Amino acid sequence: MVDAEGQILGRMSSQIVKLMKQVIKEGKEAEVHIVNSEKAVVSGPWNRVINGYKLLFTVRTLWNPEKQGIRRPRNPARIVKRTIRGMLPKNATGRIMYKSIKAYVGYPEEIKAMVEKGQARLVKFKEADVSRLKGKYVTVLEIAEAMGWKGA
């Protein structure tokens, strides 16, 4: 269980992939739940980050330019999951690892109950803490809303 609140998205993602690789190397099944995915941060000024995410909305195809194009995730949980996907190995192991990742917007009650009972523990990576940033940053929630997410 990873708490994404106040974590730098890229650094958190690379730490998650690193841990998953170690667990799979040991022969165990790796399952990762990421809570508060909307509170993860991306470093950089607001305009640069948002324009970078929106850039792929302009890509079209010649076949049917109005309907076709690159699909971009708008939900914060899917943005986080998509970031992790880019860091996974591009083989069968990577596909298995990707399927075992669950990202949530907020803090679901069933996970909260598991943590309170002691069946799981929440992890925060100190290497990915937002206090490392000296400049500006944008939350994944702000990115999702700028891209048109009409979420909860």
Give the DSSP letter string of 4-32: -TTBBHHHHHHHHHHHHHHHHHTTPPP-E
Percent of the chain at pLDDT > 90 equals: 71
What are the distances in angstroms from CA 135 to CA 47, 131, 143?
Answer: 14, 10, 17
Q: What is the greatest pairwise CA distance in the chain?
A: 55
Whether the Cβ atoms of residue 9 and residue 140 lie closer than 8 Å to each other: yes
Whether the model pTM is above 0.85? yes
What pLDDT is attached to residue 10?
A: 95
| Crossing angle of the two packed helices 9-25 and 76-85, in degrees rounded to 10 | 60
Fold of 2-146: Ribosomal Protein L13p; Chain: A; (3.90.1180)
Mean pLDDT of 111-136: 92
Residue 71: band (very low, low, confident or very high) from pLDDT cuts 50, 70, 90: confident
- φ, ψ of residue 20 to 5 degrees: the values are -65, -40
Give 12-28 pLDDT, tens digit per residue.
999 999 999 999 889 88
d(CA 42, CA 32): 21
| Mean of the per-residue pLDDT values of the chain | 91
Give me the residue spans of the domains in the chain: 2-146
User: In sequence order, which residues have a C-beta less than 8 Å from that of residue 110 and are 6 or more positions away?
Assistant: none
Q: State the pLDDT confidence band at 56, using cuts at 50, 70 and 90.
A: confident
Instruction: Compute the average pLDDT of residues 78-87.
Output: 95
pLDDT band at residue 152, thresholds of 50, 70 and 90? low
